[in-house]
Structure 1
Amino acid sequence: MKKYGFLATLALTAMLAACGSQDEETGSKSSSEAANSEVQTTVEEKIVTDQLGREVTVPGSIDRVVTGGILPYFSTWYVATNSTKEIVGMHPNSYNAAKNSVLAKISPDVLKADTSFVQNGEVNVEELMKINPQLYVEIATDEKSIDKISEAGIPVVAVKAIDAAAAEPLATFNSWLTLTSQITGTTERADRFLDEGKKVQAQLDEQLKDVEKQDKPRAMILFMHNDKSITVGGKNFFGNQWLNATGAIDVAENDVTGKKEVNMEQIYAWNPDIIYITNFTETQPDDLLQNKVSGQDWSQIKAVQDGKVYKIPLGIYRWFPPSGDAPLMLKWMAQKNHPSLFDYKIEDEIKTYYKDFYEFEISDSEIQSILNPSSDAAKY
């Protein structure tokens, strides 16, 4: 297989060298300054196999990582390593999630990340070079970015999203943690997460085993939304797996694969009992419950009539895609779907999890910010 390593030419090597002498506050250096720096070579390198099956040569010790279109990955790095200081650059959409997350308080270094290398929705390689990444992590479907960054001599690790582990969130996140562990040599936190996820799912399965199909709520995932467009999630997407795992029926699973734009007539035909709204849209439950959206009448939908419209939480990252908070997502959604079966207090579950897993004493106000995330987190 083709190997991707450091720069093939001395000139480009000089541009990217001297990473250790960067200004830690700004995390960036101009290409001209980099070119004049003393060339440094790595003491140790390793080869990892990314999720496209590519062998990628990476430094044995990494302290400058940039993350692109695989938006949750910065939080994956934190879960695996207990640190975000290595994340020196990230996609602007990731940064908005980070800025509005509890992770910004647990590990404030995450807010030092540079976002200027993404311009007009694309990676600007010249700006990226100024950040001097030792490693770039990109979503596996963005072949254009993977190729042009690799050609610039920066090691690129490709990570799959919905096509990893059949879009099963816990298994997908575990695959990301496993890859990160291979890169960093850290395994303890990854193993703990996997064990916790399995334990929580087993608990839910036990509670839900006697629930008949007709007693399961019919739910819909509102993935993206505004007054001009309605996009829902369906089969082979994270929402479908969350709903199946927590005792609900996905109303879109027979009509939608992945995500799809639909109209209100389709929503009326589905008439879901519950609507879950992701953090990839600024829409809040009150926008539907109070019928605020111009040109759309949500008042006819059963979920709206019954007041069962919920914004999916945002903890160390958005809870809809895979994240370190996945066991909490399971508990939260299971309780919304079957409140009589799951009578725990979700606030207590969050407090215990954050103390045990992240060693963070989370406050009541921070818990409320998780459960009631700002629309700002969805802004580009």
Structure 2
Amino acid sequence: MQHLVGMHDASWQAMYDGILGEIFPSAIDIPHNVATNSFAPNVESVLALEPDLVIQWGDNGAAIIDPLENAGLKVAALKYGTQDDVARWIALFATALGRPDRARELNSPISAALKTLSAVGRSAPKPAPKILYFNRFEGGLKVAATGSYNDFYIKLVGGQNPASGPHGAPGTGMVGVDIEQVLSWDPDIILLGNFDAAMPDDVYQSAVWRDQTAVKTRRVYKVPLGGYRWDPPSHESPLMWRWLSMVAFPQQQPFDLGAEVRTSYKRFYNHAPTAAQLAQILWLKANGASSGYRQFHA
């Protein structure tokens, strides 16, 4: 963290809400007023931090990069959306920090996990459960449609995404939908992302959703929040893949996800989470009334 002098507010919020702020308490004090919600840079704030390198999204147009470069800042532009993109980020950051060995240390286990979970997904029971991911639930519904990262990992573990394909949501990526559309899909499993505060009880207690299969079978889950949100692609994604596989197919061979989190976090952050931190990461209380979640208490 000693190399990081500023960050976007959304990243800071995830760190504050999750356990990264506990692992690295000084990170809470890192300035996070460097850009708007749409990533338009606050150039004055960035210049005040005197950074050697600024990381910015490279696929959102020149309007969010040019002001930084015009101010004389060195900018690395990142492409976003896939696990391959993450591997390239890790390699880029490791090179910038003079630690190419660190890139190999982080990327090799991700590649191995992808092979393992691909095999698990191919052997998953059929028919595949319909798994619907909500990027936003409060104040308007937004789901992961065709081409989204969430669509990728739903299919990876052996599920099907009703918001994807010819009968799915219109458009690609994160798409706004109405309640009637979701009711017509009738998902078997509902995932609530970490980009708003919606919890399983909000769904269970609503008369709007009570006839949905996922509600009647108690299969609504809040996605874990670790060092970062597990929803989008990151170095923690293999943990998300395994968690979702266990949620979707609780009858499969038992797996100690807690032990895997501890091993991974030791590699990522040189920190083994406590029992209380594991409970926080996995939302054991919020997901406690959902079907099959006892397996994560082991």
Q: For the superposition of Structure 1 and Structure 2, which TM-score range results when normalised by the shorter chain?
A: 0.7 to 0.9
Contact 1:313/1:373 (8 A) holds in 2: no
Name 2:293's counterpart in structure 1: none
Q: Deviations over 1:280-314 (max 9, x none)?
A: 121111111111xxxx7111211111111111111
Name 1:313's counterpart in structure 2: 224
Name 1:126's counterpart in structure 2: 44
Q: Which residue identity lines up with residue 232 of structure 2 in the other structure?
A: P
Q: Are the structure 2 counterparts of residues 346 and 151 from structure 1 closer, same or farther at C-alpha, using a change threshold of 3 Å?
A: same
Name 1:207's counterpart in structure 2: 120
Question: Residue 204 of structure 2: which of 279, 283, 289 is its match?
Answer: 289
For residues 162-241 of structure 1, what are the structure 2 equivalents within 5 Å? 162=81, 167=82, 169=83, 171-211=84-124, 213-214=126-127, 216-226=128-138, 228-241=139-152
Contact 1:311/1:373 (8 A) holds in 2: no
User: SS of 1:118's equivalent?
Assistant: coil
Q: Are the structure 2 counterparts of residues 365 and 143 from structure 1 closer, same or farther at C-alpha, using a change threshold of 3 Å?
A: same
Question: Which stretch shifts more, 143-152 or 338-347?
Answer: 338-347
1:270 aligns with 2:185: yes
In our comparison, the structure showing a higher alpha carbon Rg is 1
Question: Residue 156 of structure 1: which of 53, 65, 75 is its match?
Answer: 75
Q: Which residue identity lines up with residue 33 of structure 2 in the other structure?
A: S
Identical positions, percent: 28
For residues 29-40 of structure 1, what are the structure 2 equivalents within 5 Å? none
Distance 2:265 2:183 in 1: 39
Unaligned runs of at least 5 residues, structure 1: 1-83, 376-380
Q: Which residue identity lines up with residue 270 of structure 1 in the other structure?
A: W
Contact 2:34/2:43 (8 A) holds in 1: yes
Q: Are the structure 2 counterparts of residues 117 and 195 from structure 1 closer, same or farther at C-alpha, using a change threshold of 3 Å?
A: closer
CA RMSD of aligned residues (A): 2.1
Contact 1:207/1:341 (8 A) holds in 2: no
Question: Residue 112 of structure 1: which of 11, 18, 29 is its match?
Answer: 29
Q: Which residue identity lines up with residue 226 of structure 2 in the other structure?
A: G
For residues 1-380 of structure 1, what are the structure 2 equivalents within 5 Å? 84-118=1-35, 122-140=40-58, 141-162=60-81, 167=82, 169=83, 171-211=84-124, 213-214=126-127, 216-226=128-138, 228-254=139-165, 255-256=168-169, 257-291=172-206, 297-372=208-283
Question: Which stretch shifts more, 193-202 or 130-139?
Answer: 193-202
Q: Deviations over 1:61-101 (max 9, x none)?
A: xxxxxxxxxxxxxxxxxxxxxxx111111111111111122
**Greater strand proportion:** 1
Q: Which residue identity lines up with residue 136 of structure 2 in the other structure?
A: M
Distance 1:209 1:192 in 2: 27
Distance 1:196 1:229 in 2: 37
Q: Are the structure 2 counterparts of residues 119 and 323 from structure 1 closer, same or farther at C-alpha, using a change threshold of 3 Å?
A: closer
Unaligned runs of at least 5 residues, structure 2: 287-298
User: SS of 2:31's equivalent?
Assistant: coil
Distance 2:218 2:25 in 1: 36
User: SS of 1:248's equivalent?
Assistant: coil
Distance 1:89 1:246 in 2: 36
Distance 2:123 2:185 in 1: 25
User: SS of 2:146's equivalent?
Assistant: coil
What TM-score results when the alignment is normalised by the length of structure 2?
0.87
Contact 1:100/1:374 (8 A) holds in 2: no
Contact 2:121/2:156 (8 A) holds in 1: no
Contact 1:233/1:260 (8 A) holds in 2: yes
| Residue 213 of structure 1: how far off its partner (Å) | 4.3
| Residue 119 of structure 1: how far off its partner (Å) | 5.4
Distance 2:133 2:91 in 1: 28
| Residue 357 of structure 1: how far off its partner (Å) | 4.6
User: SS of 2:265's equivalent?
Assistant: helix
User: SS of 1:232's equivalent?
Assistant: strand
Q: Are the structure 2 counterparts of residues 289 and 213 from structure 1 closer, same or farther at C-alpha, using a change threshold of 3 Å?
A: same
Distance 1:312 1:369 in 2: 11
| Residue 344 of structure 1: how far off its partner (Å) | 1.4
Q: Which residue identity lines up with residue 53 of structure 2 in the other structure?
A: L
Q: Are the structure 2 counterparts of residues 120 and 369 from structure 1 closer, same or farther at C-alpha, using a change threshold of 3 Å?
A: closer
| Residue 181 of structure 1: how far off its partner (Å) | 2.3
